[in-house]
């Protein structure tokens, strides 16, 4: 289900590109022209974003039809057909760019995420995303990391607590920060705290933090942290996570490895939508 909030958000993308009207298409294409187009990626990728791709067309013109050829999350080969779009030629031409832009971005993220997740899939560690997402695209990009194989971290500042180094500096200590924050949050949210040393880790453990973020620690220290923690809290390793380093980090026994890389270093998949049939009706 596309929720009302999500629909409103997608509508902004259409308004950004179309404004009040698509000058070219309105000037050339008649109401009675129907068309059919096929969407294909020119490179292998993980497909992500199909429900949003469809909804963008549906918002503009409820009569358009989208037939998916592969399920969301599929790893497709180059030039494999993703979906077919049928309807008024006007609709296809006007919505094409907005819908492709979103799909290309999300497939890019899902593909990079899948690649990273694969590197650690036989370990205990799971890949998680971060808040380092493109402004205005948080929900969509986190959706894509999930399709790619990551677990989502919090959506924003409002739905979970993460006590970071600056909060600790202001509160005076890990202990003090945790005590204050516990009073302020819904009991349904886990409490996470960032630590930069094994000493802070011990403090966090003794205050009963649910999740402890090990900030930029070397693999050796992470290994000690895992041992010291002994499953009393969930451990998240963060910082310097790349395709090269992720495997070694995962083997330390941490529960989660968070990566901004999967969003801010993802580039677009090359996808196009080719009109294969045009028909004049009425």
177, 208 Cβ separation under 8 angstroms: no
**Shortest reach from residue 66's CB to a copy of itself, in Å:** 15
Task: Please confirm, yes or no, whether 194 is among the known catalytic residues.
Answer: yes
C-alpha distances out from residue 9 to 104, 134, 269, Å: 18, 14, 23
Determine, following the binding rule CB under 8 A, whether residue 22 of this chain makes contact with a copy of itself: yes
The residue among 76 and 106 lying less far from a copy of itself, judged by its C-beta, is 106
Binders of a copy of itself among residues 134 to 163 (CB under 8 A) are 134-140, 146, 151-163
Binders of a copy of itself among residues 60 to 119 (CB under 8 A) are 60-61, 88-94, 97-98, 101-102, 104-105, 108
Task: Please confirm, yes or no, whether 132 is among the known catalytic residues.
Answer: yes
Task: Please confirm, yes or no, whether 164 is among the known catalytic residues.
Answer: yes
CB-count exposure of residue 165 (10 Å: 0-12, 13-18, 19+): middle
Task: Please confirm, yes or no, whether 58 is among the known catalytic residues.
Answer: no
Task: Please confirm, yes or no, whether 255 is among the known catalytic residues.
Answer: no
Q: Which of 34, 6, 21, 35 is nearest to 102 (CA)?
A: 6
Binders of a copy of itself among residues 187 to 206 (CB under 8 A) are 187-190, 192
Query: Pattern of binders to a copy of itself over 225-254, x per CB under 8 A?
Result: ---------x--------------------
262, 153 Cβ separation under 8 angstroms: no
Single out the catalytic residue among 22, 176, 215, 270. 215
Determine, following the binding rule CB under 8 A, whether residue 272 of this chain makes contact with a copy of itself: no
Q: Which of 96, 127, 108, 88 is nearest to 41 (CA)?
A: 108
Q: Which residues contact 210 (CB under 8 A, 6 or more apart)?
A: 190, 191, 192, 233, 234
The residue among 166 and 220 lying less far from a copy of itself, judged by its C-beta, is 166
225, 194 Cβ separation under 8 angstroms: no
The residue among 219 and 278 lying less far from a copy of itself, judged by its C-beta, is 278
Determine, following the binding rule CB under 8 A, whether residue 38 of this chain makes contact with a copy of itself: no
**Can you tell me the distance from the alpha carbon of 48 to that of 241, in angstroms, rounded to the nearest whole number?**
23
Residues designated catalytic: 97, 132, 164, 194, 215
């Amino acid at each position: 289900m596309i929720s009302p909030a999500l629909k409103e958000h997608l509508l902004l993308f259409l308004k950004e590109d179309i404004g009040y009207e698509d000058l070219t298409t309105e000037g050339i294409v008649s109401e009675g022209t129907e068309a059919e187009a096929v969407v294909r990626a020119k490179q292998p990728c993980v497909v992500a974003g199909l429900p949003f791709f469809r909804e963008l067309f549906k918002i503009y013109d409820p009569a358009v039809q989208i037939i998916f050829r592969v399920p969301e999350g599929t790893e497709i080969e180059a030039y494999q057909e993703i979906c077919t779009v049928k309807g008024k030629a006007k609709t296809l031409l006007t919505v094409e760019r907005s819908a492709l832009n979103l799909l290309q971005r999300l497939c890019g993220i899902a593909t990079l995420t899948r690649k990273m997740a694969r590197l650690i899939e036989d370990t205990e560690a799971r890949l998680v995303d971060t808040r380092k997402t493109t402004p205005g695209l948080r929900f969509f990009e986190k959706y894509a990391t999930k399709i790619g194989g990551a677990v989502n971290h919090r959506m924003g500042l409002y739905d979970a607590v993460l006590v970071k180094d600056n909060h600790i500096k202001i509160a005076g200590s890990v202990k003090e920060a945790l005590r204050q924050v516990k009073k302020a949050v819904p009991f349904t949210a886990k409490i996470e705290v960032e630590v930069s040393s094994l000493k802070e880790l011990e403090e966090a453990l003794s205050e009963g933090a649910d999740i402890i973020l090990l900030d930029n620690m070397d693999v050796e220290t992470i290994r000690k942290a895992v041992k010291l923690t002994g499953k009393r809290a969930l451990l998240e390793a963060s910082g310097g996570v790349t395709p090269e380093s992720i495997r070694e980090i995962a083997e330390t026994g941490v529960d989660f490895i968070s990566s901004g890389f999967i969003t801010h270093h993802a580039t677009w998949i090359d996808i196009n939508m080719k009109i294969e049939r045009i028909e004049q009706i009425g």
